[in-house]
Structure 1
């Protein structure tokens, strides 16, 4: 039997609170991809994103018996992981302002050496610069939707606190803005998506 997401959250939360590992694993399996998508949308490093996701699960453990709307668990988790990401970003910003730049000179560059891929790298950098000109809401939505595998629209709506019916139209508007910016950039002129690329 196929069980709809969220239709038995109350029972799963109750069982998890009683120490049922299988119930906890089911909750994690259902929502972990969504948490990672939201964390990555803040452009955190892998370690920071992992911290945000882990802290979100810890918050849920602390509140297992206090989730008042189990059917909105995805929304609760999405809100919580966003808060964790913002806290990490604030903490990182404070650390950067107090760090000594001279300590960074000994850190080896993990990137590949310059070679024939340089032009590709320049194109990608130009594309990301164009992406960064989009409004913040567009950037966050597109980053979440770029996850692999992509989360369901219901999960995206809950995590980003937006109506599910507006996700598709908003995505199209954001991509149209990106295409317009890319069309105007000389480095990207040959890489504007065709009609066949649009979905």
Structure 2
């Protein structure tokens, strides 16, 4: 008899899915034999997903065990018809978790590798955030009127320009420099907050 297909799913696949769903229902009810058959039914699928992440054999075994533990913990909440899809998604998540952990582990044979204290150097994220913040500040400064930009530049110089020099170069009364500086800084705060 030909193997009929409905929506891309063959009769054989539909039968396998309903058999697996029945096993999942029985396993959720505490049937040990059904649990063993369910594991046997999907073990190759779980293993194939772990291998697609190119994990070592020991990591793949750990992921596999964790996936079956997760299924055992959640079997009463997993849709029996979708247990295969649930296993694939859970296996992928566990593989990603293992890979993320692996990236944090540093294996070295050099005896002086741990002499540099991690806190002595800024983390890459901190440097990236500082660079982004500097770009934001530059953009905010550039949006201020030219006269304000010049005044802030003179006030931030090392050493800062005296108020008398700022007053003369920008034709601003000395008594106005402080209040203008305050308005500039407030405008920058608003721009940076948005």
TM-score, normalization by structure 1: 0.46
With the length of structure 2 as denominator, give the TM-score of the two structures: 0.47
Q: Which has the larger radius of gyration?
A: 2
Q: Which has the higher contact order (CA 8 A, sep 6+)?
A: 1
